[in-house]
Structure 1
């Protein structure tokens, strides 16, 4: 059995957050030398600490109205800084571009499918919805991308965890909703998706589908941290978050970014839209990652360059 102190894992209390955290809890426990198939061992070396965030408590307003993406991480990061937990498991797409002093994204495991999923009881695809149909989403990006393709749609604010949104769809509060396919897969609900959105035509949120292991900066090189990191995913999301940083991305801007490898070449598409979807700004680029001293830095630089190009072109058109 491992002899080092337990690694306490902070996570939100939603069903999806607990599913994600439970998966990483077993990975962390294994990296610490415990048997991931023995629950008592797992809980002893990597106990879960559930923390309710402001984003979980406030469900009747958009995130931009209550402080942005940080409302899903604020209380957890406070516990991390105070030493009540040793790491936190987040959906990377919920992470702000800038983290509090003393904290870092220490590891990113292999990414799940990054695409958005289209769910509806009335149509197979967004294009098939009736004229003026109601689309439910709390994401400005999804709103803007949907309106760019279908300006006739009635897009309404729909927040809540996955179960809540599915219940609202079932109750007829919307004709269709959009959710991260990765979350549906992690909950065993992939079959509910009618279709998947092309990530090049409509790039997902930067980092979508990936998990972030956040620690105090001094813990980033711990052996258990490095054991769960996935190199290609880390490089790809570095490019996406570079674009996010350049565009000062928050819940007040409709930003999408998708990076993927074709052989040794990293390809990246970035877009930003006006909230009504009428204006869309897109830039694409690629870089050879072969034999680079630090491919993560090069990937981030690619994202920064594309994001800055969009910012210079779009100006205030993309601000909510």
Structure 2
């Protein structure tokens, strides 16, 4: 059997494999080749191995990409597929963000066991989430609720909820939809009020910076509007030095040649926040995100900024 033309590195969760297969399908079409031309290589990451504590205590979102980056740089794979929100703002030396697929619905979904909506959850109900952002936004709306750490892939969390380990949880609607599990959502949270994670709903593809052959094929998959939105959001996050230890949210929308962005920094209890909005040419996406980040950082109280250190 002939060796594959391209090898995709990915995590092995059902959602990660859905994303990798979406990229694989696009590559096969772009190459005009048979299915054997693109191989998916699953790689277990440190983030997958750690399930007993929040990632914010273990080293942050980079734990989901370290081993995949190593495989990419060593030539064991030619490209890597990630949830964009899992990508660190500083990519591994020698790798670049080469393509983004069209973005899915960015909203968060509540999956309620005790009640269908956030407003209807009983006083003191327990909400499980692995995200500091979601926890802070929940507490902002409902300070009476108890938020607990809740790790695992999508199905694992749904199973834990079914066992009533918590009264409700929140997941990205995009992930639920990609897995055919969107019917589990009992409430879709408005993205303007419950701002998503930076990069939420987007699939990002990284490759070696000097690999002209792979980069040329990946350009055919790239969605310009998603790429601009992601460039803005990642630039905002980079200025704030955001990590899994920081409740930060934001969303860039592209309409024609115009980009509009809103970003938010929260205290972990959701009681305090600093927000900023900016608009401009989509071609200036990264500069707009960085400018908004500097503005928000300048107006954020020093003790809240200390969380970024």
- Band of TM-score, shorter chain: over 0.9
**Hey, which bits of structure 1, 4+ residues long, moved more than 4 A?**
none
Query: How far did residue 308 of structure 1 move?
Result: 1.3
Q: Residues of 1 paired with 2:218 and 2:254: CA distance?
A: 24
User: 1:170-249 residue pairs with structure 2 within 5 A?
Assistant: 170-219=162-211, 222-249=215-242
2:79 alignment partner, one of 87, 96, 99: 87
User: 1:262-277 residue pairs with structure 2 within 5 A?
Assistant: 262-277=255-270
User: 1:136-175 residue pairs with structure 2 within 5 A?
Assistant: 136-175=128-167
Q: 1:172 to 1:4 in 2, by over 3 A?
A: closer
For each residue in 1:137-168, what CA deviation from the matched residue of structure 2 results, as whole angstroms up to 9, or x when unmatched? Answer: 01111111111111111000000000110011
User: 1:96-135 residue pairs with structure 2 within 5 A?
Assistant: 96-135=88-127
- Report whether the alignment pairs 1:301 with 2:294: no
Instruction: Quote the residue 2:244 is aligned against.
Output: 251
SS of aligned partner of 2:264: strand
Query: How far did residue 4 of structure 1 move?
Result: 9.8
Q: TM-score, normalised by structure 2?
A: 0.95
For each residue in 1:54-82, what CA deviation from the matched residue of structure 2 results, as whole angstroms up to 9, or x when unmatched? Answer: 11111111111111101110000010011
Instruction: Quote the residue 1:8 is aligned against.
Output: 7
Q: 1:219 to 1:316 in 2, by over 3 A?
A: farther
Structure 2: where are the runs of 5+ without partners? Answer: none
SS of aligned partner of 2:217: helix
Instruction: Quote the residue 1:70 is aligned against.
Output: 62
Query: How far did residue 17 of structure 1 move?
Result: 0.7
Query: How far did residue 121 of structure 1 move?
Result: 2.4
Q: Residues of 2 paired with 1:187 and 1:65: CA distance?
A: 29
Instruction: Quote the residue 1:317 is aligned against.
Output: 304
Q: Residues of 1 paired with 2:153 and 2:119: CA distance?
A: 25
SS of aligned partner of 1:271: strand
Q: Residues of 2 paired with 1:310 and 1:128: CA distance?
A: 33
- Report whether the alignment pairs 1:23 with 2:22: yes
Query: How far did residue 229 of structure 1 move?
Result: 0.2
SS of aligned partner of 1:252: coil
Aligned residues: 304
Q: Residues of 1 paired with 2:18 and 2:4: CA distance?
A: 24
Instruction: Quote the residue 1:33 is aligned against.
Output: 32
Contact 2:62 2:86 in 1 (8 A): yes
Q: Residues of 1 paired with 2:272 and 2:207: CA distance?
A: 38
For each residue in 1:230-256, what CA deviation from the matched residue of structure 2 results, as whole angstroms up to 9, or x when unmatched? Answer: 011111111111111111011011110
Q: Residues of 2 paired with 1:230 and 1:168: CA distance?
A: 36
Query: How far did residue 130 of structure 1 move?
Result: 1.0
Q: 1:30 to 1:166 in 2, by over 3 A?
A: same
